[in-house]
Amino acid sequence: MPPRPRLQPWITPARHLHASSAARLPPPLPTTVAASLAAASSNQGPAQDTLSGWIRSVRRQKNVSFAVLSDGSQVGGVQVVLPKGLDEDLTVGCSATLRGAWVDSRGKGQAKEFKVEEVSFVGESDAETYPMPNTKQGIPLPVMRRNAHLRLRKDGPAAMLRVRSEMNWAMADHFRREGFVRVEMPVITSSDCEGAGEVFRVIEGTPEGPAPASNAPASSPSPPPAASPKDGPPPPSRYLTVSTQLHLEAITSSLPRAYTLAPCFRAEKSDTARHLQEFWMLEAEAAFLDADVPTALDQVMTIAESVVRSIADHVRNMPDVAAHFAHHAPALPGQFDALLAPKPYPRLSYTDAVTLLQAHAAAQPDAFAFAPTWGAGLQTEHERWLAEEHVRGPLFVTDYPTALKPFYMLANARKEGEPDQTTACFDLLVPGLGELAGGSLREHREAELVAAMDASGLDKEAYGWYVDLRRYGTTRHGGFGLGWERLVGLLTGETNVRECTAFPRAAEGSRF
């Protein structure tokens, strides 16, 4: 009887299937390069194996060629050795499926190499024009960005995507243990949650220029008929969501702990290393918080801190990517130490933060480009000084002036010594970045919420459903939003969020 095809640990047969239907299962997907090498290194692999991947480099010698094959499953490709005759079509960038066996390597740089006996498939690649060649000096960043569809062939971007994927897993595992329900939220909404006017408006229409071939309509659809007065009021405007928070509050009006990881869109004009126009946000919300406001805010900060710790801890234990990124960003191990320090992240009020910043500015007049002033937002330079110099680790800054914050946040009772009203809110600041997350308690009382909406000039009709949440069984609740690409950057040492997602869309536009 021929041996059964070997299954990868990550493709297990569906055990619930009846034996006869299980027999009809298709063959397993190819083994990953990393899994095959790991099995061979522990002497548990088969005598023969098959590897699929892309050729990164080829070095031809008289009787034999050495190539580097990679499928992104580990940092760095593996050395494959091809006898003359089998190497002819191999060029940098081509895809290949190679059958052969692992042997001990006599060369430097690897313990094992893969001796190829058969090249069963090759998707060719023109090495002359291939945008991702293997060069000593590396590929310039603008070329990498312009070729986002191919840059994942490189170690850093591929490892970043694997980190992103594992972060997702760690987040889900953490929240599941904490009793949070994961929910999917609408992407098209009728509200500008943050009220900052940075929305993308959604309008129906046909694309400018030719439609993509596969979707091209037979002929242009006719425009929608003009509204007649009989049709009633026009439908509300539609936007791409800037934050799912308002909808998440509706969820926690029934399921008291909920979270989502969702795409958010902001028409950011600012071309900074921290801003994208399309980014992902982890948002969590919890109901039935403590009646005491500072304690309730502490509860929300603890939710944010504990998920950051769980994710960071998981990523630190991905040995190959942690070593790869630490090599490129020597400060990274220290960053992990700070994120995972045993003591809770310090919590500092905005008023105290401004006092500290002002004292520092007085002692060092050229420390900041912007003078720290009570009532003004903290600049990135202020946030970074607090995290990098003052605390040397992550910290929460709480209770910002109400005038700086959106309508939905719960205002604090007026405190003595403060120039103006503050709000029960926080920003999580971290070294090397500044703001990673922002959250607050929500105004849970109907009359006060309506007054805040009036003060912000909001259309009460459009937010009627949101006010309902206060009318029918309101609770003391709160939550936060965390920029996913910013966290990816923090855990990989990447300083620009454009490198923290496969296809970034930022102020400069994108060809993808």
Which alpha helices (H) appear in 415-505, and where do they start and end?
Answer: 446-455, 464-471, 484-492
- Phi and psi of 285, rounded to 5°? -145, 145
Per CB under 6 A, 441 contacts ligand 4AD: no
Closest to ligand 4AD by CB, 123 vs 346, is 346
Which stretch in 80-88, 125-133, 330-338, 476-484 sits in contact with ligand 4AD by CB under 6 A? 476-484
Q: Is 423 in the site for ligand 4AD (CB under 6 A)?
A: no
Tell me the number of residues near ligand 4AD by CB under 6 A: 24
Task: Return the residues of window 206-245 that contact ligand 4AD according to CB under 6 A.
Answer: 243, 245
Among 480, 498, 499, 504, binds ligand 4AD (CB under 6 A): 480
Q: How far is CA 124 from CA 127, 134, 147, 158, in A?
A: 9, 17, 18, 21
Do 191 and 459 touch, CB atoms closer than 8 A?
no
Rounded Cα distance, 96 and 119, in Å: 7
Q: Are 59 and 67 in contact (CB under 8 A)?
A: yes
Taking every pair of Cα atoms in the chain, the longest distance, rounded to a whole number of angstroms, is 85
Chain positions 154 to 193 lying near ligand 4AD, rule: CB under 6 A, are 193
Would you count residue 439 as binding ligand 4AD (CB under 6 A)?
yes
Out of 77, 157, 479, 504, which residue is the one contacting ligand 4AD (CB under 6 A)? Answer: 479
Q: What is the CA radius of gyration of the chain?
A: 27
Binding residues among 265-304 for ligand 4AD as defined by CB under 6 A: 266, 268, 275-276, 279, 281, 283
**Residue 393 touching ligand 4AD (CB under 6 A):** no
Shortest reach from residue 74's CB to ligand 4AD, in Å: 29
Tokens representing residue 489 in the block? 């950057």
**C-beta of 196: minimal distance to ligand 4AD in Å?**
8
Secondary structure element (H or E) that encloses residue 351, with its range: helix 350-363
Query: In terms of CB distance, is 100 or 479 closer to ligand 4AD?
Result: 479
Instruction: Write the single-letter amino acid at 316.
Output: R
Query: Residue from 162, 257, 314, 486 that binds ligand 4AD (CB under 6 A)?
Result: 486
Beta-strand ranges (E) seen in 404-508 are: 425-430, 434-441, 478-483
* Residue in 410, 437, 449, 500 binding ligand 4AD, rule: CB under 6 A: 437
How many angstroms separate the Cα of 192 from the Cα of each of 254, 361, 441, 442, 462?
23, 36, 19, 16, 10
Least distance to ligand 4AD from the beta carbon of 273, Å? 10
Q: Quote the tokens at residue 360.
A: 């520092």
Q: Work out whether 398 is an interface residue with ligand 4AD (CB under 6 A).
A: no
Binding site for ligand 4AD (CB under 6 A): 193-194, 243, 245, 266, 268, 275-276, 279, 281, 283, 435-439, 479-483, 485-486, 497
